[in-house]
């Protein structure tokens, strides 16, 4: 374990160096640890840990990382450079706050065959080893928390960035001329609201649905769709052929968790212009 801790520090130096411009030399005053320093810094997490940092308190670690050396931690984040590997393990650079591209963490795990890539969202459980400090290509100070991981698990966007604080099961369908819209559930997270929708075409003509025409109505306010890029959330297709169905997630701004009722308003159309469609409206209550 101690040898692996040393390797974590040696490889993280290479990872950070790769982020610098080609030909930039380390200054004499660089704070990159040598092997002896790495061995010393690993002591806090080799034999015993000092305690556990709860997920809700993880932000505090970045204000004074050295004070939390030796504590166990579990957090989620996004890998933002291609992983480095050797015979001893896999080494990752992770944003623990991927929405804002902040909270740089270097993670080392004793698994050289770990199936993880850049842009993956992950959940990490391990021990805080130390803080690494260096310089980027522009001479600015670069800091990163160093975590020796016991486990690294690839997770989805929702788990990592937007876990639901509350889920409202709706399970309602409306049928207009064979155009069937079903709302399965609504998830309320602290940074968005998600409506899970399925549309089925039981007609003999192509039908259309445009998510940007959807609204979430709360009191006298209407919320419009908010696109969330790189989320991996499935999208409802805009054109649905006869006999086909499509399902996905429509995202809206965050709502007050105390909200008791809301209405999902959506619109649809058909290539059969003889048919008249009213808006599909779903009253959603807790």
- Per residue in 142-158, pLDDT (tens digit) is 788 999 999 999 999 99
Residue 80, domain member (yes or no): yes
Which DSSP state fits 110?
S
269 and 203 together in one domain: yes
Enter the pTM of the model: 0.76
112 and 95 together in one domain: yes
What is the distance between the alpha carbons of residues 94 and 266, in angstroms, rounded to a whole number?
38
118 and 168 together in one domain: no
What does the pLDDT read at residue 137?
A: 66
Residue 227, domain member (yes or no): yes
Report residue 136 as tokens.
Answer: 């980027």
Which DSSP state fits 141?
E
Which DSSP state fits 56?
G
CATH number of residue 85's parent domain:
2.40.50.140
Residue 120 contacts residue 78 (beta carbons within 8 Å) = yes
Does residue 75 carry a pLDDT above 50?
yes
Residue 145 contacts residue 104 (beta carbons within 8 Å) = yes
- pLDDT tens for each residue of 12-48: 544 544 444 333 333 333 333 333 333 334 343 334 5
Residue 102, domain member (yes or no): yes
146 lies in which domain range? 55-155
Beta strand 221-224 with 215-218 is antiparallel
What is the distance between the alpha carbons of residues 85 and 64, in angstroms, rounded to a whole number?
29
How many structural domains compose the chain? Answer: 2
CA dihedral for 176, 181, 186, 189, sign (positive or negative)? negative
Q: Which of 155, 176, 205 is the last residue of a domain?
A: 155
Q: Which of 96, 125, 155 is the last residue of a domain?
A: 155
Q: Which of 103, 137, 155 is the last residue of a domain?
A: 155
Residue 24, domain member (yes or no): no
- pLDDT tens for each residue of 246-278: 999 999 999 998 999 999 999 999 999 999 999
């Amino acid at each position: 374990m101690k040898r692996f801790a040393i390797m974590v520090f040696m490889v993280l130096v290479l990872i950070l160096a790769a982020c610098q411009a080609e030909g930039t030399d380390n200054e004499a005053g660089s704070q990159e640890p040598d092997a002896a320093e790495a061995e010393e810094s690993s002591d806090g997490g080799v034999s015993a840990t000092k305690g556990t940092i709860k997920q809700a308190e993880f932000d505090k670690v970045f204000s004074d990382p050295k004070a939390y050396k030796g504590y166990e931690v579990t957090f989620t984040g996004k890998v933002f450079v291609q992983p480095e590997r050797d015979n001893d393990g896999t080494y990752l650079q992770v944003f623990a706050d991927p929405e804002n591209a902040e909270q740089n963490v270097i993670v080392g795990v004793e698994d050289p065959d770990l199936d993880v890539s850049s842009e993956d969202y992950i959940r990490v459980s391990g021990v805080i080893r130390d803080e690494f400090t260096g310089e980027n290509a522009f001479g600015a100070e670069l800091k990163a928390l160093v975590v020796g991981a016991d486990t690294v698990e690839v997770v989805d966007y929702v788990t990592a960035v937007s876990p639901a604080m509350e889920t409202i099961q709706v399970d309602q369908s409306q049928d207009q001329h064979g155009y069937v819209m079903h709302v399965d559930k609504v998830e309320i997270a602290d940074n968005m609201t998600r409506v899970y929708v399925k549309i089925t075409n039981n007609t003999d003509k192509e039908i259309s649905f445009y998510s940007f025409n959807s609204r979430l109505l709360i009191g006298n306010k209407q919320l419009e769709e908010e696109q969330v890029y790189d989320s991996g959330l499935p999208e409802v297709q805009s054109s649905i052929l006869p006999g086909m169905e499509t399902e996905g997630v429509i995202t809206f701004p965050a709502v007050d968790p105390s909200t008791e009722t809301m209405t999902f308003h959506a619109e649809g159309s058909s290539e059969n212009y003889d048919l008249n469609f009213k808006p599909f409206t779903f009253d959603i209550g807790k």
